[in-house]
Structure 1
Amino acid sequence: MNISRQLQRLALNEDINFLLTNRVPRAALTRFMGWFSRIRHPWVRGASMAVWRSFTDIDLSEAKKTSFDCLHDCFVRELKPGLRPVDPRPEVLASPSDAIVGACGRIGDDPGAQVFQAKGFPYPLSDLLGGGARAQVTIDSLRGGSYVTLRLTSSMYHRFHAPAALALEHVTYHSGDTWNVNPIALKRIERLFCKNERAALHTRLSDGTPLLLVPVAAILVASMRLRAVDVALNAQYRGPHELPCEASYDKGEEMGWFEHGSTILVFTPPGFALCEGVGTGHRIRMGEALLRRMAAVPATA
């Protein structure tokens, strides 16, 4: 068995994986990785990418560029045009990113609007969004709706796109921790998404329907960029944390990117359901059907 396979098997051991990716100085390691990944030296780039490949199944054949100046450039790579066709049906919300589907289902009707990060590990939307009038209005509109957890692995395409034609009205940035967001950590750390660095993107579809997207950062390069906000949202960002926006996007248009693998949480109001075949463990690509608007049931006489 070669060294690469031995490393992969070691990483799959839950206890070892959790210790290596969480019981470390997460903030310091994340700052270091942010600096290290931007070193533009061929030896550093070559060695770091070789180590990365030994732990992942990264495929760069879809990348727009054929070479990279540093590891960071590879993390945020663009794809060749036409590789992610977007489902054109108006009733369908497309996946905003390449991902593995995690916990998904119905948002609770309780005051906190409970959802799950993993089986037996609930969290309330009120904790995820924090306080304030805007958060409360959003929570009230989402109770009884649907949610989907989309986990991006480190080897995936890291850019995220509009799931439908929509307007981004407001961004609330929450600084926080940098726990790993893999399934192992989600089964051990309660309310993990509510503790990590994240940005709540308050959007509306073209017909006025609210749609909430929450990119959640994680350990290592815990940083995200939004096209509508000309700053890097990361541990070094000092505010303001309430960021009004007036940005419109066509379906499939790029909204931003992660600077490492992480998670996007998608929340819809009542009236939407998961598309056929979408469930926990399903691999989905940006642009594929994720949620659909259910046909209205005619009222009986």
Structure 2
Amino acid sequence: MSMKSARWIDRLTQQEDLNFLLTNRVPRLAATRFMGWYSLIERPWLTRFSVAVWRVFTDLDLSEAETPPQGYRSLRDVFTRRLKPGRRPIDPAPATIVSPCDAIVGAFGPVTRGMALQAKGMDYRIAELFGDATRAAPYLNGSYVTLRLTSAMYHRFHAPADLTLRRVTHLAGDTWNVNPIALKRVERLFCRNVRAALECTLPDGTPIALVPVAAILVASLRLHALDLTLRPDHPGPHRFDVEHAHARGEEMGWFEQGSTIIVFLPPGVALIDGLAAGQRVRMGEALARLPSADDE
């Protein structure tokens, strides 16, 4: 692709009105179902063609992947690729909560009056996000951080600490795009989209929650603890009580394309200093810090 063509595509995709129109004012669920079907087609030549088109619009890099570039049979295989061992070292400090995924940091900060920030001037009730005020209660006066996975990123997510997954609540909804352009325009977007609330506890009983949120072209979530894939049309059940332990950094599951994970922390667990919106983080990097014995 020529530099002139690349600049034209870059200018085109940066036009907010056009971006919003192309990624939201379409039959979102139908487009998502189509992508789910398309991504499962096992034709290596079609996969190579699709990856070539994908690279025109994103910074897709398969050099860290366990599978060589010519080894993918379907687009889903590319979306859910594993990395070569050792590519995501885990922060060695035992008191740190690490990022569960590769991501771009979005809104973050304290949960105030039961509200979290989606984008500047746009907030939402975490009780609505969790689907239950009781399940959101441990994070009132706590903190949160929004982690956005782009379509080109590594799509598997991992345990941010030694923890036990206690409950999964799958919530039906829409598939709005979750990029910054949509977040500025669609109120309560995270609460409208398909999502799953993963309620966990650390070894000392401290609660922590991950809320993966789906988006257009991606609404399927695979969890090892359930051994099933949660899709928008999943017939039920939608609440699962589980007792599944994960070691810090262990894979918990994956999206079948890019999306968002919101991490919720209770009072006393502080986000690290220097966190900034727009910052890129990798799975395993420090995100928050547990209180030390001196703090108690």
Q: Which ranges in structure 2 are unaligned for 5 or more consecutive residues? A: none
Paired residue type of 1:34: G
State the distance in 1 between where 2:100 and 2:94 align. 15
* Residues 218 and 259, structure 2, Cα contact 8 Å, conserved in 1: no
- Work out the CA distance in 2 between the residues paired with 1:141 and 1:85: 30
The SS at the match of 1:229 is: coil
**Partners of 1:235 and 1:141 in 2: CA distance:** 27
- Give the C-alpha shift of residue 296 in structure 1: 6.2
The answer for the alignment partner of 1:90 in structure 2 is: 94
TM-score by length of 2: 0.95
Distance 2:170 2:52 in 1: 34
Aligned length: 292
Q: 1:100 to 1:298 in 2, by over 3 A?
A: closer
If the length of structure 1 is used for normalisation, what is the TM-score? 0.94
Pairwise CA distance, 1:276: 2.8
Q: Is 1:102 paired with 2:106?
A: yes
Does residue 1:19 correspond to 2:60, yes or no?
no
Alpha-carbon deviations, 1:87-115, whole Å to 9, x = none? 1212110000000000000011x2xx101
Deviates more, 1:34-43 or 1:144-153: 34-43
Query: Quick one: percent identity of the two aligned structures?
Result: 59
Q: Which amino acid aligns with 1:105?
A: G
Deviation digits for residues 184-213 of structure 1, max 9, x if unmatched? 000000000000000000000011000011
> How far did 1:39 drift?
1.1
CA distance in 2, matches of 1:248, 1:242: 18
Equivalent AA in structure 2 for residue 148 of structure 1: V
Q: CA deviation at 1:230?
A: 1.8
Match of 1:254 in 2: 251
Q: How do 1:257-268 and structure 2 match up within 5 A?
A: 257-268=254-265
> Is the alpha carbon distance of 1:298 and 1:106 closer, same or farther for their aligned partners in structure 2, counting shifts above 3 Å?
closer
Task: Name the structure 1 match of 2:144.
Answer: 147
Residue deviations 1:226-251 (CA, integer Å, cap 9, x gap): 01112211122111001111100000
CA deviation vs aligned residue, 1:239-276 (integer Å, no higher than 9, x gap):
10011111000000000000111000000111122213
Q: Paired residue for 1:170?
A: 167
Q: How does 1:79-228 map to 2 (within 5 A)?
A: 79-108=83-112, 110=113, 113-131=114-132, 135-136=133-134, 138-228=135-225
- 2:277 and 2:11 map into 1 onto residues whose CA distance is 23
In 2 relative to 1, CA 5–229 (structure 1 residues): closer, same or farther, beyond 3 Å? farther
Q: Distance in 1 between matches of 2:204 and 2:179?
A: 35
Q: Give the Cα separation in 2 of the matches to 1:13 and 1:296.
A: 51
CA-based RMSD of the aligned residues comes to: 1.4
Q: 2:79 maps to what in 1?
A: 75
